[in-house]
Structure 1
């Protein structure tokens, strides 16, 4: 289990597979550099970016799923730790941001769908909802997607949301390109959830 969580009463957690751009997104949101790597699985423990005065933090949780050169038991342990962390701190989490790669997420979900298998992304989305945490899907790398509406509609279907995807923006579906600093839809979603939680004092972090 991850240790050393700063004692903050409000938090936004970022979850997702390795190499979907979580660390780049965190850098865009906070202006603070986290170690990003070409190799999946660089982040093995949570990165907390916190503000003491507001009693608030963003938490970038380690990526899960396939990582070349990383033993399967380690991968499973990381996923278990991520799930336990979110569960243990659910009452403090104002939003859970599931970051996915817009270009590949539908294919990845389909590849891992089977009678005995729920794809990690789908599982995590529903897990957040079951815990009563507002779930936002940050669909990253949208600059590489040609059939934008089609792709986002297909993702909604896989997540059990009725298309068209447009009806789920901004609260749930946020198409972004973190590398280019194009993250306004995600900021809009977070502003919505902060407001809903009566935490307008946090809006300045997602201006």
Structure 2
């Protein structure tokens, strides 16, 4: 089980496959550079970023799914730790941000579905909602996608959200973290914080 979580009463947690840009996204929100790498699986334990005097932290959970050079047993152990962390802290997690690669996510989901498996991204989305954590899917790397609306509609379909995607702006946020284009995610987070009467935390997502 992960250790070292700051003693904070509220958090926003980022979760997703390896190499989808979670750490880059954390840098956009905090201005702090976290350990990243082209090789998937660099982050093996959570990165937390909190502020002195604020009862709040951002958490970047390790990547799950396939990681080149990482044994399947280790991958499964990491995923189990992620699930346990989310369950244990579900009362403190105000929003769960599931980060996906906008260019690859549909192919990955369909490939697993064709094998009769529940795709990790779909499983994590429904798990977050089952434990009653408001969930935003940050669809990253959208600067590399040409058929934007079609791709986002397809993702909503795979997640069980009836299209068109535009009616789910508090759930689906198309972004490009590397280019600093994350306003749709900021707006979705603001919506969820306001709904939970946590206007005191809006400063951290703006």
TM tier relative to shorter chain:
over 0.9
Measured against aligned partners, the alpha-carbon deviations of 1:177-203 in whole angstroms (never above 9, x if no partner) come to: 000000000000111111111110111
Alignment of structure 1 residues 105-144 onto 2, 5 Å: 105-114=105-114, 116-144=116-144
For residues 51 and 157 of structure 1, the distance between their equivalents in structure 2, rounded to whole angstroms, comes to 38
Gaps of 5+ in 2: none
For residues 113 and 13 of structure 1, the distance between their equivalents in structure 2, rounded to whole angstroms, comes to 26
For residues 199 and 183 of structure 1, the distance between their equivalents in structure 2, rounded to whole angstroms, comes to 21
Q: 1:206 deviation in Å?
A: 1.4
Provide the residue aligned with 1:62 in structure 2. 62
For residues 105 and 125 of structure 2, the distance between their equivalents in structure 1, rounded to whole angstroms, comes to 13
Measured against aligned partners, the alpha-carbon deviations of 1:149-173 in whole angstroms (never above 9, x if no partner) come to: 000000000000001000000x100
Task: Name which of structure 1's ranges 45-54 and 175-184 shifts more when overlaid on structure 2.
Answer: 45-54
Provide the residue aligned with 1:199 in structure 2. 198
Gaps of 5+ in 1: none
User: What SS is found at the alignment partner of 2:197?
Assistant: coil
- The alignment covers a number of residue pairs equal to 206
For residues 24 and 200 of structure 1, the distance between their equivalents in structure 2, rounded to whole angstroms, comes to 25
For residues 59 and 138 of structure 2, the distance between their equivalents in structure 1, rounded to whole angstroms, comes to 15
Task: Name which of structure 1's ranges 110-119 and 176-185 shifts more when overlaid on structure 2.
Answer: 110-119
User: What SS is found at the alignment partner of 1:63?
Assistant: coil
Provide the residue aligned with 1:157 in structure 2. 157
For residues 11 and 65 of structure 1, the distance between their equivalents in structure 2, rounded to whole angstroms, comes to 23
TM-score normalised over the length of structure 2: 0.98
Provide the residue aligned with 2:3 in structure 1. 3
TM-score normalised over the length of structure 1: 0.98
For the aligned residue pairs, the C-alpha RMSD in angstroms reads 0.9
Q: 1:51 deviation in Å?
A: 2.0
For residues 196 and 98 of structure 1, the distance between their equivalents in structure 2, rounded to whole angstroms, comes to 19
